[in-house]
Amino acid sequence: MPGCWRGSPAPQYVTLEIAAGPPAVSSPEQTFVRHISASPSGSACVVGDARLLYAGVMAPGLIKRLTGYTGAQLFRGGSRRVGERLGIQWLIYNPVIMHYYHQVAVVDAPAVVAALDAVFPAARRWIDVGAGSGAFSAEAKRRGKVVVACEQSPVGRLYARFQGVDSRPFDLSREPHAQLDASFDLALCFEVAEHLPPPLGDRLVKYLVGLAPRIVFTAAHPGQGGYAHLNEQPREYWISRFYTAGAVLSPVLTDAVVTAFVERAVSASWLIDNSMVFVARDGPASVSSQGA
């Protein structure tokens, strides 16, 4: 499916194919092999002024000349280094990486959303910040929630739109960070903060606290590892940041969410290990009293 968006000196184009089901994958490289094998003609796109013929199956010599990497190296992490060198976020979070994130998310989305719905049954309006491909937002919408997703990556927003999700541009370096026109009962932010330098991480926390009275937040802990992680921190670090921004950790709600994840067999260990629920300092802090 073709897509085009603005936001760089030259328009950016990408051809995406979204699998109907969630095949089991364990790495971005495996996702790339499956993606390309399903597309005999290959996929190509132009990225800003880099003029990168992206899939690597179309013109490997040009790929090497433009980026300094072979196609295989590009998809094994070279794209991130090229993106960092050229200042092109699209390359860091490229279609292959986003496709991998999507396939991982759709596996757990039904269980995760069912768990959150059980803990916060009265929360009707959800906002998903750093929503990636929109897999969790799409599942919440299927369960009758009113959901808005915010995502920096145009590729992620394109995936979300294909699933019927209202996904809006999100940029912590600009004001406003996203164009929103409503209040929300529950904010989600899964594994986003570790991809941000500390100043933007602090800005993210402040933004979340202003969005909803209850926030379900996860961020990679030290040593977890992962793609393009810049700021892995212990739980205490984020608890302190949220406190400064006006929210406190709710141990009761955190335990409730983690227990609900385990009971529904959520497979992503980082969601179970890293989940924290924050509430406004003067807000309710228990399942029985928060009325959600």
For residue 65, what pLDDT is reported?
57
Q: Looking at mean pLDDT, say which of 17-21, 48-52, 67-71, 234-238 comes out highest.
A: 234-238
pLDDT at residue 236 is higher than 90: yes
Q: Can you tell me the distance from the alpha carbon of 93 to that of 154, in angstroms, rounded to the nearest whole number?
A: 9
Structure confidence at residue 261 (pLDDT): 98
Mean pLDDT over the full length of the chain: 74
Q: Quote the pLDDT of residue 155.
A: 85
161: confidence class by pLDDT, cuts 50, 70, 90: very high
pLDDT greater than 80 at residue 222: yes
Pairing of strands 186-190, 125-129: parallel
Helices within 46-153 (DSSP H only): 60-67, 71-73, 79-86, 89-92, 95-119, 135-142
**pLDDT at position 197 over 70:** yes
Token code pair at residue 244: 């400064």
Q: How confident is the model at residue 228 (pLDDT cuts 50, 70, 90)?
A: low
- The pLDDT assigned to 95 comes to 73
Tokens 């299927």 -> residue: 142
Query: What pLDDT is recorded for position 253?
Result: 98
Task: Quote the strand ranges of 118-240, DSSP E.
Answer: 125-129, 146-151, 167-169, 186-190, 214-218
Strand partners, 215: 187, 278
Q: What is the pLDDT of residues 84-125, one digit of tens each?
A: 554 555 555 567 777 877 888 999 999 999 999 999 999 999
Both tokens of 104, joined, read: 């991982």
Is residue 4 scored above 80 in pLDDT? no
For residues 68-93, give the mean pLDDT: 53
Structure confidence at residue 123 (pLDDT): 98
Q: Comparing 118 with 55, which gets the higher pLDDT?
A: 118
Mean pLDDT in residue range 4-14: 31
The answer, as to whether pTM is greater than 0.75, is no
Give 196-207 as a DSSP string.
Answer: S-HHHHHHHHHH
Query: Strand 167-169 and strand 186-190: pairing?
Result: unpaired
Q: Would the pLDDT of 34 be above 60? A: no
Looking at residue 229, its pLDDT comes to 77
- Higher pLDDT: 76 or 31? It is 76
pLDDT at site 273: 95
Instruction: Tell me the mean pLDDT in the region 135-146.
Output: 97
Q: Examine the pLDDT at 29 and tell me if it is beyond 80.
A: no
**pLDDT-derived band at 205, boundaries 50, 70, 90:** very high
Average pLDDT over residues 25-43: 34
166 or 285: whose pLDDT is higher?
A: 166
Residue 261 burial (C-beta neighbours within 10 Å; 0-12, 13-18, 19+): buried
Q: Is the peptide bond before 251 cis (omega within 30 degrees of 0)?
A: no
Q: Binning pLDDT at 50, 70 and 90, where does residue 274 land?
A: very high
Distance between terminal CA atoms of the chain? 39
Q: Residue 182 corresponds to which amino acid?
A: A
Q: Give, in degrees to the nearest 5, the angle at Cα 1 between 71 and 46.
A: 45
Largest CA distance in the chain: 63
Contacts of 64 (CB under 8 A, 6+ apart): 70, 71
- What domains are defined for the chain? 2-92 (no CATH), 104-290 (3.40.50.150)
pLDDT category, 82, cuts 50, 70, 90? Answer: low
